[in-house]
Amino acid sequence: MLLVNLRGVRESGKVFAVPTYMFIGALLLLLGAGAYQFMVGRMSPVTPQSVITQAGVESVSLFLLLRAFSSGCTALTGVEVISNGVTAFRPPESKNAALTMAGMALILGTLFLGISTMAYSLGVIPKEDETVVSQIARATFGEGFLYYLVQGSTMLILILAANSAFAGFPRLASLLARDGFMPHQMAMMGDRLVFSNGIIILGASSGFLIVLFESDTHALIPLYAVGVFLSFTLSQAGMVKRWLIKRGPHWRKKLVVNGIGAVTTAIATTIIASTKFMHGAWIVIVLIPLLIMMFRGIRSHYKAVTEQVSLSRGHRPPIPRRNIVLIPIGGVNRAVIRAVDYARSRPGEIRAVLVDTDSEETAKAEMQWAQWGCGVNLIVLPSPYRSILGSLLDYIEEILEKEPESWITVVIPEILPARWWQNILHNQRALMLKAALLFKDRVVLTDVPFHLTR
């Protein structure tokens, strides 16, 4: 699912359209065949009436009706994908999205009512080892090709139902990112004009949940349902607030519609959260406040960044500062001379820095530097504890204290092996130095690579 969506909206749409149309066609064929059998009197119950009567073990109550209503509402999930993706439609976007929503509602209502009517007429009751659709198809078509067509298309559509999240979440995350509540990378489109970062994060999270819950759909459905209906409730309540504040044409009618939607989805959310609390719904109830805190923290960070980096009328272009260029060396070789050559092309005072950990090697390096150093001053630092990195950092700190208005540019000569595995044969002193200096104020790092050929 992740890989197909990364290919682009048009490409993924072509892949997912075939199973979708096959499923709709197979179910419409099933309903048509069932209607024909009913009219000619060939439809007979698959379960004896006595068994159906004995199946009820709970008296009908208001709570039972509300629970059934809440469970049935899960069939409506997915409609939010269209409302979240209005901008992805062709112009006029809102009109085309509304037509798509109406078409989806018509198809959903037809299939849902048709299957419910056939299940009632055939006396189908839920079984642990066979779905209701399978029982209806078996009673209508037998066990021939058409039965397996219904089963196969149903399996494919259940798998592809996850694509609603891949279509909606990346776009929704991009809107949150533009408002500063999610990382700005979530608002960037990839080369296929899809929000690649959102798709990848959703795929990784989905894989983690599948492993964590051992692919048990009964454990995952409460996790999904509470989150979906809570978002329905919040969005409908938000629209109620909008009509109360901004009003506009026919705002009272719209207020009533969104108010009814907010109340009904709130009831569904409450019932699902209470009845499925111990089955996994508690995770969402705990996770949502944590996510809100995360969103607010991200928003606060971006706000602080904007305040600190923005220019005001009181700011003036900075006066040029003195630049001190340091070249840390461990000896004299072609990689070091290459770094010196680069440093000499830049303005500023240039100093080569050598840490004395071996007097004989230091003396040898000083003699070589006199020949190859191109007139650059060589500073030899003592190291009583043979700590190269510590001595360098102490020297840089000393310069920062003595030169509070100066820049320090550290030019690091680095040998890059021809093959990745050869990196383990070399010390990572340059990497450690870069990590130590990266967050120091007024210190600029410049890496001069020397590429080995074999």
217-246 and 251-275 helices cross at what angle (nearest 10)?
Answer: 150
Quickly state the pLDDT bin for 290 (edges 50, 70, 90): very high
**DSSP 3-state of 412:** strand
Q: What is the torsional sign of CA 416, 421, 427, 432?
A: positive
CATH topology of domain 323-451: Rossmann fold (3.40.50)
Across the range 32-49, mean pLDDT stands at 79
* Mean pLDDT over the full length of the chain: 85
Instruction: Give the integer Cα–Cα distance in Å for 69 and 15.
Output: 34
Q: For residue 105, is pLDDT > 70?
A: yes
Q: For residue 51, is pLDDT > 60?
A: no
> What pLDDT sits at residue 343?
93
> What pLDDT sits at residue 58?
55
Classify strands 443-451 and 323-329 as parallel, antiparallel or unpaired: unpaired
Q: Indicate the range of 97-101, 262-266, 386-390 predicted with least confidence.
A: 386-390
Amino acid at 313: R
> Which residues are bridge partners to 408 per DSSP?
324, 443
Contact 401, 320 (CB under 8 A): no
| 58-72, 207-221, 255-269: range with highest mean pLDDT | 255-269
CB atoms within 10 A of CB 107: 13
Length of the chain: 454
- Which residue has 């642990």 as its token pair? 128
> What pLDDT sits at residue 57?
53
Is 0.85 topped by the overall pTM? no
Instruction: Give the integer Cα–Cα distance in Å for 353 and 339.
Output: 13
Instruction: Give the integer Cα–Cα distance in Å for 161 and 305.
Output: 40
Quickly state the pLDDT bin for 128 (edges 50, 70, 90): confident
**DSSP 3-state of 350:** strand
Q: What angle do CA 56, 218, 109 make, to 5 degrees?
A: 70
Residue 420, both tokens: 């990745």
> Shortest CA distance to 433 belongs to which of 452, 416, 446, 423?
446
382-404 pLDDT tens trace: 887 778 888 899 999 999 999 88
> Shortest CA distance to 45 belongs to which of 109, 161, 175, 136?
136
- Which residue has 């920062």 as its token pair? 400
Across the range 106-119, mean pLDDT stands at 90
Contact 88, 9 (CB under 8 A): yes
318-349 pLDDT tens trace: 777 889 999 999 889 999 999 999 999 888 89
Q: What is the torsional sign of CA 155, 159, 161, 163?
A: negative
Q: For residue 229, is pLDDT > 70?
A: yes
Residue 356, both tokens: 């004395």
What one-character-per-residue DSSP string does 315-368 give?
Answer: --PPPPPPEEEEEEESS-SHHHHHHHHHHHTSSSEEEEEEEES-HHHHHHHHHH
> Shortest CA distance to 185 belongs to which of 193, 173, 172?
173
> Where are the domains positioned within the chain?
323-451
Q: What angle do CA 395, 399, 400 make, to 5 degrees?
A: 115
Across the range 81-105, mean pLDDT stands at 83
DSSP letter at 191 equals T
DSSP letter at 58 equals S
Higher pLDDT, 153 or 46: 153
> What pLDDT sits at residue 367?
92
Across the range 259-263, mean pLDDT stands at 93
Q: Edge-to-edge, what's the strand order for the sheet holding 443-451?
A: 377-382, 349-356, 323-329, 407-416, 443-451
> Shortest CA distance to 230 belongs to which of 104, 80, 97?
80
251-275 and 281-309 helices cross at what angle (nearest 10)?
Answer: 120
> Shortest CA distance to 30 belongs to which of 147, 159, 154?
147
Beta-carbon contacts of 268 under 8 Å, excluding residues fewer than 6 positions away, are 69, 70, 73, 229, 232
Q: For residue 296, is pLDDT > 90?
A: yes
> What pLDDT sits at residue 48?
56
**DSSP 3-state of 10:** helix
